[in-house]
Amino acid sequence: MNGWSVSTSLEVWVGALLTLMVFSFLWRDNPFYKFAEHLFVGVSAAYWMVVGFWTTLWPRVVVPLVPGAVKVVSPEAEAGPFDPLALLPALLGLLMLCRMVPRLSGLARWPTAFVLGTTAGYTVVRYVRSDFLNQIRAAVGEGVLLRTPDGRLDTAESVAAAATLLGTLACLHYFMNTRREGRVSSPFARLGLLVLMITFGASFGSAVMARISLLVGRLQELMGSWLGLI
């Protein structure tokens, strides 16, 4: 433990005070917490807007349509050719803004439909392969009698593989054989329910661990960078 050595950095003080304002919600809702909350939302929105403009809108739409604009940020850069393809995202973006005009709001469905359709088409194949087929292969692909590289039975891995397969089948059975009123119909489905409960418990425990890590991180900042105690 070190002695007190309070930071003289404005940045550190702002961070520390905002952290304390957010923590104050644990006592009760209060104006300090509200202030920090609103400031966070405002700063985040502004940050995303600025980053979005300079990393997406400017290089992908403005510069291709107005090549000379590249000199605004890099005077020594050479202007590229005019790219008419950039008109397409520009048009879709403008159609999205039609939502703000009640008479034209229907036009905003077109870019939404385009984004949904392309995303679905692009994503479905990947999800089927990675989260469905590859997961089936992982569960049953090599069977449950696994061997070590020198050919001996790997008992620990075999038991783990058998438990995974049994647990997966029990969970599927639970979902397919649970009566409408919610009663579990068979011992195997009960096993599935048990596996699900263990899984949810592990997920919750993991989430708690993550939150504690964030608490430790903030307290390290407060006690280290701000107060110099550690």
Partner 1 sequence: MNASSGAEPFLERLDRRWIFLTLALSVIAALLYEPVFPDRPGELVRPIFDRLESLAPGTPVLVSLDYSPSSAPELEPMAEALTRHALLRGLPLCYLSLWPTGNNMAERLESDLIATEHPEAVYGRDWVTLGFQAGGELLAHAMIDSLGSRFLTDSRGTPLKEIPALAHVVGLGDFGLVVSLSAGTPGLKEWVLYVGDAGGIPLAGGCTGVGAPQFFPYYPRQLMGLMAALKGAAEYEAALARVYPGQVPEVMRATRGMGPQAVAHLVIVGFILLGNGALLRRRSGGSAP
Q: How far is CA 199 from CA 28, 125, 209, 211, in A?
A: 33, 27, 15, 19
178: phi then psi, degrees, rounded to nearest 5: -100, 130
Cβ 204 to partner 1, closest distance in Å?
9
Looking at the chain, list the stretches that DSSP marks H as alpha helix, in order from N- to C-terminal side.
Answer: 10-23, 31-52, 63-65, 70-73, 87-97, 109-127, 134-140, 155-176, 187-220
Could you give the string, one character per residue 164-193, with x where binding to partner 1 holds by CB under 8 A and - elsewhere?
------------------------------
Cβ 213 to partner 1, closest distance in Å?
4
Residues 61, 62, 66, 67, CA torsion sign: negative
Cβ 135 to partner 1, closest distance in Å?
6
If we measure between CA atoms, which residue out of 207, 174, 177 comes closest to residue 192?
174
Q: Which of 30, 134, 148, 185 binds partner 1 (CB under 8 A)?
A: 134
Instruction: Establish if 35 lies at the interface with partner 1 (CB under 8 A).
Output: no
Cβ 51 to partner 1, closest distance in Å?
4
Give me the residues that bind partner 1 (CB under 8 A), please: 1, 26-27, 47-48, 51-52, 55-56, 60, 74, 122-123, 126-127, 129-131, 134-135, 137-138, 199, 202-203, 206-220, 223, 229-230
